[in-house]
Chain A
Amino acid sequence: MYSPAHHTRALSIRHPHLITTSDVDTILTFCNVERLDVITVGCRDARISLAPLHGLFPILNSLYLSFISLPDSEIFSLICSFPLLEDLTLVSLGRGHRDEQWNAPPTSPRFNGTLKVETVFEGVRSITHRLLDLPNGIHFTKIAVSWLSGEDVRSTMDLVAGCADTLQFLDIANHGSGALPSLLPIPD
């Protein structure tokens, strides 16, 4: 039977906690999705599980994940379930459960495309360390990060060192300490 799902290349999922194992057969019809957006903002994501999505898109090469308090284990277990992943965008809009223990799987994605990390409150340190701990390393050609503190400078240096042989493009947005700003009058 003809299904438009087979022709879908980009898929966006909001409220992924509503997906259960009984929905897997439906999602499997989206077998040619190459770009996936997962947005957990607005669904109290500190305690949700993304396990029903693991590995469902066999040729996925680009993942965008926007979250508030999603634990690292959920974020990186989802990421590592897609071995062909090249591009990764992580947008953290809150403070997550960053100190929990998580054991990296034996393999990790190829990560030879673009990495974008945007954080509002907590900086990029935790995400950086998780990425650098992955067994296959990182090989990004493009990296875009935002800085909130001096810790982010060090973390960015770690990312650059991890991609030293492949990195061609670097984009840094320096937002300083992250405190509320006051406008600077610039004299004529």
Chain B
Amino acid sequence: MTGIDLSQAANLRDVVFRCGRLRARWISETLHTIGPKNLQRLSLELSHCSVIEDTTWETVHPEWLDLDSLLVPFWVSRSLRLKVINTPGKGEEGVRDRVAKFLPELTRRGIADLVQCVE
């Protein structure tokens, strides 16, 4: 599934992406279309039920690394507030360890608020 063109939304301040599938390319594609000025907050939600149908972790992992490398300069250039929300499954690791698998550089720099949700 491709991203959405948000270039027309000149007053967009706050965007939330909820990942029901473990693909990330649609998020990167969407971020490339957002104008330079107004966006203030960006949130990503990873659910324990985030799933994938016909591919493997090796396939989707590069998409997350691409997003990771996009988010860091986004944060630097826009003073953007980043938040990653994780809803863990039973027995899963903590929020930092899990998010680090998807967004390692962002986690290493500590530039996002990491939030663990309890269902």
| Size class of the B contact interface (CB-based, 8 Å) | 20 to 34
- Report the bound CA distance from A168 to B15 in whole Å: 8
- Report the bound CA distance from A20 to B95 in whole Å: 53
Shortest Cβ distance from B93 into A: residue: A188
Binds B, one of A30-38, A73-81, A129-137, A157-165: A157-165
Q: Quick check: A176 and B20 within 8 Å, CB to CB?
A: yes
Q: In the assembled complex, which residues on chain B have CB atoms less than 8 Å from the CB atom of A150? A: 1-2
- Report the bound CA distance from A157 to B6 in whole Å: 7
Interface size on A, residues (CB 8 A): 32
Q: In the assembled complex, which residues on chain A have CB atoms less than 8 Å from the CB atom of B19? A: 174
- The number of inter-chain residue pairs (CB within 8 angstroms) is 92
Q: In the assembled complex, which residues on chain B have CB atoms less than 8 Å from the CB atom of A183? A: 51
A25 sits at the interface (CB 8 A): no
A182 in contact with B53 given A170-B9, A174-B20, A175-B20 (CB within 8 Å): yes
Q: In the assembled complex, which residues on chain A have CB atoms less than 8 Å from the CB atom of B12? A: 167-170
- B57 interface neighbour in A144, A156, A164, A184, Cβ under 8 Å: A184
- Report the bound CA distance from A106 to B96 in whole Å: 54
A167 in contact with B9 given A172-B17, A174-B21, A174-B26 (CB within 8 Å): yes
B14 sits at the interface (CB 8 A): yes
- A184 interface neighbour in B1, B11, B20, B22, Cβ under 8 Å: B22
